[in-house]
Each structure stands twice: as structure tokens, then as C-alpha cells.
Structure 1
């Protein structure tokens, strides 16, 4: 199965988005709540419905961007957030994107990529981050199979993958996951 632009567009059209929690999830919300530098340039790849993006903007972070391969979730985000600047919403393939950021928020994007793309993802995140930039958010922690998305993974796999490019500041089981994801998420903070 190829996870193409058309695939993701159809998933949103069919409302087949079981990863959509309907709101920002607790681990990412609590991480954002402790950020103090409102000038950070922040990207959320695979932004989907964009609860995290909307929350950042409402909290006063104005240099925030959402990127998705499909226009369908971007259009949904625009309809729910009409005051959000549309020039901060990017329809593009993550692997083609070239801007630089201080922080990239990971929320269900990594787990939606075909597992063979994971080394490319780690390399691309490294290229998109400014010096001392961070990748922060959640990764799913359940056995990796060919069924998905979402695709699982393990702490050991993630440690091996990301330690090539980043200092691992945090890679641990989330203590504050939402109920359906309890004991199935790892929180990460990786520094370039």
C-alpha cells in the first residue's frame, strides 16, 4: 500500500481518521504550556486537523506553521480556524520541505509514515531544525507491524534511529496520555 497524497485525501474525505482525538492531547498540551519563548519558529508536519497548531496560535505563538501532503485537512483546519494566517499552512510533501525551524512538534505524523521511511524522517528532521533546535512530542509504543497506519515501534528502535542525529533529552513512557493511548505513547524531546 502506498501512502500517497490521494490516500490521505481519501482518508479525510471518508472521515477515516481514528487517530484524531478531537482536541489537543495532554502530553503535547502540557509541553506547549511550559514553553516561554513566543518567538520560536515551529512546524507541525502532518498537521491534519491541527489542534496543536490552533492551540499554539491561541497561546500567542505567531511564528507557527502546519504542513500536510493533502489539501483536505488543511481546508478543514481553515474552516475551524478562520483567523489563522493561511500563509502559515503549507500543502507539500514533508520530504520536499526546506524551511528551518527552532521546534518541530511530533503528533501522529511519524507513525503514519511507512516504516521504511523512518531513517529518511530522522535525517529530514535534522535538516529542518536550526542549531540547538528540538523535536518534541509523542511516538506510539506498540509492536511494529505491516498493518497501519498507525505503525508502532519501540523505545529501543527510536533510540537507535534518533541518536544518530540528536541528543536524546527525553524518551520515556508518557505519564499523561489520554485514556485510549495510555501505555502506548512515548514522549520525546530530541535536541540537534
Structure 2
């Protein structure tokens, strides 16, 4: 398809991805992504460069998320569904020790290739702090088996920063409660530990399905306020907010929410305005 009409190309890619993933359900869902990486000729979510929204967050919102060091050690970050590893390199250049997690082994090969070709394009942001360590690990986000592959001595399985982009929106809605619960397990219970979500796509009609599935801010808010619990949806596929239901004891609280200064083109409206949000969450 011609790229003269980016919106049409994006819509066509979404329909093709939707058709592919419709062949997989339940526990086989991750195999659908694995198959796409195995073929390697249709990866529409792969932007080939790090998220401008993450770069803006690291550069301009350090008062919210803090820096890459804590108590004399480097903070440890996780990028689940890291794809080609572009955001892993970005976080490492800011000084974080980072794990890029992928279910698909071919994605890990793509990470190694990308690092070898482009690591010089990610200059260290602070020479005194230096670059953090990068590890690319194959594993299932919802299981613990991949912990042993990380290899950090004395590591307790917790992270100081988790970055989610095109991961939550890739999950079938039935998996969202487990996604939220898993985030509470992996994020360190500390005022200095943050889950950073790039909320995308927020304006897509929920009834159009996915992936990517529509995930407006209230979707994150309800699931992260009630991790592991069933959340009510209406007939159109939108989250039903219920202010009378109290947050769960293990809920996250949202400590930051803003439109980033920039984001990938797919997260902007037809006039070039940023639609995406960045949200920052912590254990209560």
C-alpha cells in the first residue's frame, strides 16, 4: 500500500494485525506474536526508534520519576514486550540497568542486531553516571522462570521502573486484570519506584477491537486501582467507572498524568497534536 496516506496505511495494518491475532485465543495468544516475529515481514508496531514520549519523561519529568540512582546503586528497569529493544537502549543511556523482556526468541535476535548497529546512536546522558547494563531475556511476562536468566546477584525480582508501551494495548481485554496484578508483583514497593505507561491508543473506538485495543486513561485507572479483579465493561467495550467501589488494598495510585511534549506519529491526531498520555503509578 502506498504510504502517501499514512492514516489509511495505519488502518490497513491494524486490520491485518487484528485478523492475524484472531486466530489465537486464551493461553495461545502470545504464540500469535511469536509467529509474527518468526516471519519477520509484518511488524507494524515497530517504529525503529525509541519513544519520544519516554525521552521527554526522562529529560523533563525527573521530579516525578526521579533519577537513575537510588541509595548508591543503579535503579533497575523493565521493558516488557521490548520488541527491537529501542527503549531499552534509551533507558540504559540515561543510566538505568535494564531488562528487555520478550516472549519471541526472534525478537531477541532483532535486539542483538539493533544494539550492534545502533548503540552509538544512544550517547550517555551523564558521563559521571555512565551507561547502565542491558540484558535481553526471553520469557513469559506472567511467569517467574525468566528471573534466573537476568543474572543479577542478590536480585529480589523487583524493579524500580517499568515502562509499558504497546504492551497493555496488545493484550486481549480478558488479560488486563492479570496484567495489572503482575505489575504490582514486579514493581518495588517504594516511593521511588514507578510504573510508567504510554497510554495508546486512546481515541480508537473500543468496539473496533484490536490489537491494538483502545485503552483510554480510565482503562488504566480502573485496572490499576483493582489489580487482579474483574472490571465491568459496557456493551461497546468501554470500561464502566464506578466511584462507589473502593480501591483494592494492593492498588496503585497515579502520581502523574500528562500529554508528553512529543510522541510517535501514530499517537497524534490529524493536525499533529499529541493524543497519547504518560501516566506514572506507584504502590500506595
Same fold per TM (> 0.5)?
yes
- Deviates further, 75-84 or 119-128: 75-84
The DSSP-based 3-state class of the residue aligned with 2:47 is: coil
Whole-Å separation in 1 of the counterparts to 2:257 and 2:95:
27
2:11 is aligned to none
> Post-superposition shift, 1:22?
1.6
Structure with larger RCO (C-alpha < 8 A, sep 6+): 1
Alignment gaps of 5+ in structure 1? none
Backbone CA RMSD of aligned residues: 2.2
Q: TM-score, normalised by structure 1?
A: 0.88
Q: Give the TM-score normalised by structure 2.
A: 0.61
Change (3 A) 1:145 1:78: farther
Pick closer, same or farther for the CA change 1:176–1:167 going to 2, 3 Å: same
Instruction: Map 1:71-150 onto structure 2 (within 5 A).
Output: 71-82=105-116, 88-97=135-144, 99-132=157-190, 133-140=193-200, 141-142=202-203, 143-145=205-207, 147-150=209-212
Unpaired segments ≥5 residues, structure 2: 1-21, 120-131, 148-156, 227-250, 269-273
Bigger share in strand? 1
Q: Deviations over 1:124-154 (max 9, x none)?
A: 0001111122100302113324632111122
Contact 1:27 1:137 in 2 (8 A): no
Structure of greater Rg: 2
1:30 maps onto 2:43 in alignment: no
